[in-house]
């Protein structure tokens, strides 16, 4: 509705109403409708000239168009001035926590209610406990310091966001984080209690600036749905990390904490351990013969550390060339003008490479490899860069680029193999049998190269992969046997290539080891085997009245019957493995769900499937996925080292558990041949 024209000079005004003339005096003149828009709490209308009025901001005194003649500009632009943060006076008030644009304080009374339209939203009552819970989760998930809740900036932010929130102290939020950890731990304990198989542990020793050790213990297992799971179970502080009892003490504490006594199938660690330390660990394994498979269920040779050590040797052999290329990349990437000239030269030369230059992190060898690979593809650009940029004097020579390409040739198979460890959903032991064998074979050929630089690097690398192969090949081979695409055939083929005339000896060790291990599973009491608990555990629903059925059907009454079954069926049960090995191989496809296959065939191979479940859960690396490429020992930061060991464990474990949540794993094994 258009506004009424002012009539300040009129004493009377004729108005026609019901065909009669009425006389309206100033005293009886109707009042104008009160303006409802919230902007009039911040603006005053001023008459500038005849027929022209402007809206003046009460805070910053800026004026804005309001009406000219009969045209009214409206209030949208006025709202934007106060609501979008463009009024400098309001901005200062908000910073000083005085007034906010939409919550004006008037005359000491209650804030005036909003009378403008706003989108409807459900009413959410304020919950102090819920807010504290979410702050604890935030600190855990993003590794924020616990002291942040006492920082003035955080307190001011929260008070502006919700003035009713009571600030919390360091001790309070520490307790909330521990409470979150304990809640998540209860959920995980229920999951682990229900797994039908055994558990494999990996031990990753971290250091600190206080010379204390922190053992990160991660559990690997296959759940009820035949999905591979990985969880950080404990972070245990060891004051003397180099002692013979450090690892065994940490493992024993973990087994007790999670009620895993008698369920530990294998141990993998990356910390140098003496023979006495190994002997302390062996009794913790659940196998009757801790030296089964030549003791390889207890591995101190982590593949991630092995690959990193080999990569470090490669980069060390060409460290001068690596530095030259790093300096050239640094010259380009640390200056916008240099980068523009580099791209200009690349476009002029029409270099087809799609790779982008990156500056490496010298603590992670994969970034150095990626830097060398990208720079090598763009070497023509570096060689011609001085024509466009006379200040560039760092161009490597052609011989330097040749060395860099040689380094990349050695690093690429290591990079491809280590990248497999970045996934946590695949049984990596199967894949790494092939990767380790391939690296071993390639290095064997490179030793015979006429170039001494190449042959020397290959020799150094071969020594390490050869040691790893001898230490771990049996456990990798056992995992391959559990893949129906390969079984013993791939073991026989690859061992012949690697060990030559000695191959039959190593093949027999694998065959004897898998049969010995199978006999352990055959000897398990039938009512306690995972197959029975999986398929037949229906709780109390399957129980009947003992008085009606008699004592014969109780567990105690059938104990002798179990012994009879084991004695009379021993040969038949043992032949289950032989039957599996004698059957033809499945077609070799790139994507094959080996765990899904065993899930479908667990009724056909009830005992062998139990063994497959445990074997396929064996990891080959003790390093976390984000530490696979590290070439230095992980160190706990100074802040976390200052916290209580129990708090450190709660923060690290809870983050891992919250990350996993209810995610389902995908057990596809991807292999390329």
pLDDT at 414: 95
pLDDT at 653: 97
pLDDT at 36: 61
What does the DSSP 8-state code read for residue 206?
Answer: E
3-state secondary structure of 16: strand
Mean pLDDT lowest among 92-96, 205-209, 402-406, 650-654:
92-96
* CB contact at 8 A, 463 and 597: no
Mean pLDDT lowest among 34-38, 270-274, 297-301, 551-555:
551-555
Q: Using a pLDDT cut of 90, give the percent of the chain over it.
A: 48
3-state secondary structure of 436: helix
Confidence of residue 571 (pLDDT cuts 50, 70, 90): low
The mean per-residue pLDDT over the stretch 70-92 comes to 74
pLDDT at 39: 76
Pairing of strands 591-592, 669-670: antiparallel
Mean pLDDT lowest among 6-15, 275-284, 382-391:
6-15
pLDDT in tens, 394-411: 889 999 999 999 999 999
Question: Looking at the whole model, is its pTM more than 0.75?
Answer: no
Q: How far apart are CA 144 and CA 176, in angstroms?
A: 14
Domain range annotation of the chain? 40-73, 177-286+634-661, 303-412, 424-524+594-619
CB atoms within 10 A of CB 594: 23
Average pLDDT of the chain? Answer: 81
Question: Integer distance in angstroms from the first to the last C-alpha of the chain?
Answer: 79
Q: Is the pLDDT of residue 540 over 60?
A: no
Mean pLDDT lowest among 98-112, 572-586, 593-607:
98-112
Q: Is the pLDDT of residue 488 over 80?
A: yes
Q: How far apart are CA 543 and CA 195, in angstroms?
A: 23
The mean per-residue pLDDT over the stretch 550-563 comes to 57
Q: How far apart are CA 391 and CA 339, in angstroms?
A: 13
Confidence of residue 584 (pLDDT cuts 50, 70, 90): very high
3-state secondary structure of 59: coil
Q: Is the pLDDT of residue 113 over 70?
A: no
Of 325, 371, 302, the closest CA to residue 627 belongs to 302
398-420 and 365-377 helices, crossing angle to 10°: 130
pLDDT at 68: 77
Higher pLDDT, 640 or 569: 640
The mean per-residue pLDDT over the stretch 112-116 comes to 45
Mean pLDDT lowest among 329-343, 422-436, 619-633:
422-436
Q: How far apart are CA 300 and CA 308, in angstroms?
A: 15
Higher pLDDT, 411 or 434: 411
Q: How far apart are CA 461 and CA 407, in angstroms?
A: 12
pLDDT in tens, 587-615: 988 788 999 999 999 999 999 999 999 99
């Amino acid at each position: 509705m258009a506004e009424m024209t002012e009539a300040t000079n009129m004493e009377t005004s004729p108005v026609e109403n019901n065909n009669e003339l009425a006389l309206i005096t100033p005293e009886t003149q109707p009042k104008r409708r009160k303006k409802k828009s919230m902007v009039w709490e911040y603006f005053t209308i001023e008459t500038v000239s005849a027929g022209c009025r402007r809206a003046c901001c009460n805070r910053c005194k800026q004026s804005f168009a309001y009406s000219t003649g009969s045209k009214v500009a409206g209030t949208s632009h006025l709202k934007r001035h106060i609501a979008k943060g463009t009024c400098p006076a309001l901005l200062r008030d908000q910073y000083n926590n005085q007034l906010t644009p939409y919550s004006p304080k008037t005359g000491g009374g209650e804030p005036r209610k909003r009378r403008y339209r706003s989108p409807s939203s459900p009413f959410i009552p304020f919950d102090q406990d819920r807010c504290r819970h979410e702050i604890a989760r935030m600190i855990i998930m993003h590794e924020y310091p616990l002291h942040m809740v006492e920082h003035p900036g955080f307190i001011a932010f929260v008070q502006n966001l919700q003035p009713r929130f009571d600030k919390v102290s360091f001790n309070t939020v520490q307790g909330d984080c521990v409470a979150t950890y304990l809640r998540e731990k209860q959920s995980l304990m229920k999951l682990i209690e229900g797994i039908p198989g055994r558990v494999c542990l990996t031990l990753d020793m971290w250091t600190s600036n206080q010379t204390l050790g922190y053992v990160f213990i991660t559990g690997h297992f296959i759940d009820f749905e035949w999905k591979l799971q990985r969880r950080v179970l404990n972070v245990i502080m060891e004051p003397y990390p180099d002692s013979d009892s450090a690892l065994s003490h940490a493992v024993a504490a973990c087994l007790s904490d999670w009620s895993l006594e008698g369920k530990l199938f294998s141990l993998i660690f990356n910390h140098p351990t003496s023979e006495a330390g190994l002997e302390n660990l062996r009794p913790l394994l659940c196998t009757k013969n801790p030296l089964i498979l030549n003791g390889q269920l207890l591995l101190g040779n982590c593949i991630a550390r092995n690959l990193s050590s080999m990569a470090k040797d490669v980069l060390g052999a060409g460290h001068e060339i690596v530095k030259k290329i790093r300096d050239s990349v640094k010259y380009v990437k640390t200056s916008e003008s240099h980068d523009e000239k580099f791209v200009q030269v690349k476009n002029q030369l029409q270099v087809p490479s799609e790779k982008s230059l990156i500056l490496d992190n010298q603590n992670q060898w994969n970034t150095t490899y990626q830097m060398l690979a990208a720079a090598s593809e763009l070497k023509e650009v570096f060689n011609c860069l001085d024509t466009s940029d006379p200040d560039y004097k760092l161009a490597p020579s052609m011989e330097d680029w040749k060395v860099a390409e040689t380094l990349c040739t050695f690093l690429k198979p290591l990079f491809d193999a280590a990248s497999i460890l970045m996934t946590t959903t695949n049984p990596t032991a199967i894949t790494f049998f092939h990767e380790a064998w391939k690296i071993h074979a390639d290095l064997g050929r490179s030793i015979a190269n006429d170039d001494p630089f190449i042959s020397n690097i290959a020799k150094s690398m071969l020594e390490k992969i050869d040691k790893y192969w001898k230490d771990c090949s049996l456990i990798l081979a056992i995992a391959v046997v559990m893949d129906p695409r390969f079984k013993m055939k791939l073991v026989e083929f690859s061992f012949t290539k690697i060990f030559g005339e000695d191959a039959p000896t190593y093949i027999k060790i694998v065959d004897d080891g898998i049969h010995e291990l199978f006999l352990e599973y055959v000897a398990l009491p039938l009512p306690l085997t995972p197959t029975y608990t999986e398929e037949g555990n229906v709780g109390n629903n399957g129980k009947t009245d003992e008085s009606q059925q008699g004592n014969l059907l109780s567990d105690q009454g059938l104990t002798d019957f179990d012994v009879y079954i084991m004695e009379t069926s021993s040969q038949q049960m043992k032949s289950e493995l032989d039957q599996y090995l004698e059957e033809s191989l499945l077609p070799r496809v790139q994507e094959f769900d080996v765990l899904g296959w065993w899930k479908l065939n667990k009724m056909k191979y009830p005992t062998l499937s139990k063994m497959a479940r445990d074997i396929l859960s064996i990891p080959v690396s003790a390093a976390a996925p984000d530490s696979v490429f590290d070439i230095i020992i992980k160190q706990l930061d100074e802040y976390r080292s200052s916290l209580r060991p129990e708090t450190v464990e709660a923060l690290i474990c809870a983050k891992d558990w919250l990350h996993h949540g209810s995610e389902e794993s995908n057990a596809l094994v991807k292999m390329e041949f």
